[in-house]
Structure 1
Amino acid sequence: MTLRPIRMRDQRAWREVNRRNREWLRPWEATVPPAPPGHMVQRPTYRQMVRHLRHEAHAGRMLPFVVEYEGRLAGQLTVAGITWGSMCSAHIGYWVDQAVAGRGVMPTAVALAVDHCFRNVGLHRVEVCIRPENAPSRRVVEKLGFREEGLRPRYLHIDGAWRDHLVFALTADEVPEGMVTRWHRGRPRPDVPHK
């Protein structure tokens, strides 16, 4: 499993995975609220999306990644809303190809991103906001030991409406050993039968 910056040349693979997973991702993917009368909102093209992500990355506000599994694009992870000063925090959003869900791909990707944010970028806090109904995404943060902090009512526009989100968070001092170490230490070993 690899986490690396998103590239323009990922377009074909990204579109194929996104198209194949459209119905599976639809209930969890952010949407744009309806525009005021007389205005039109268009979904950005892949190239526009990557340009925006790169611009935000160069400004120090975002870290856009793709997730590769066994050499193939398997999802996307974005560290966004990077805030400096007295806060030093960010939030993480992600999606994964349903074909590889349940194999530890996304927990590993989130663990790598958190370690990068804490050890290399210098952030103090990372949070993940998840719809309460999104059991697979909740399992990711629960496996990694994120702390549940509460509910944000009507937090994000998802699938055509404003949706509540649960907030999960970690601070750098809660994982001095690093997230990847914590994740691997907590996973069952293949040679040990588990119940």
Structure 2
Amino acid sequence: MGIRVLVVDDSAFMRKLLTEMIKEFAGFEVAGGAKNGAEAVQQVMALKPDVVTMDVEMPVMDGLKALAEVMRIRPTPVVMVSSLTQEGADATIKALMLGAVDFIAKPSGSISSELVSRQNELRVMLQAAASSHQFVQRWGNDTPKAPLPASRPKQAPLAPVPHEVKRALRRVTGICAIGTSTGGPKALEKVITS
């Protein structure tokens, strides 16, 4: 049995196109399809797919609400496939914060030719999403931690900083960078708030 994918999109054409593309990937099979977020939540519970592709704008329940519900009831890797989920877009950030593992933008012009050109990208995303299944389940089932105490316990005083180190530190600009990937926004939120 291959990696089972649930395809969620309100466009019958897009569901059919994605289904045909996924069927061509070695080691993948399409578990089913849903035309709105409410159906997607029901199908996730009934079919227990390994990965879900999810549109954002849909009737009845949009993709972001469906994503939040899926993460609440049965955390499953979700790849957002939408015209709204372009890098940096508000919907993308919200989806990643809600637990989506990745996103791919729908093509804007000739839908079939543009999406087919992204076929390899989609395959790689679905494979990565499927391999993140345990990670997604752990984050989805993570219970909120108790807040940190208002005052920290007293620590032993630090050793004095040598003069030459102080001089070197004056040149430091104070930049801190954290890179994230799959599951990154939720992990980053936990790190920063802790």
Larger radius of gyration: 2
When normalised by structure 2's length, the TM-score is 0.32
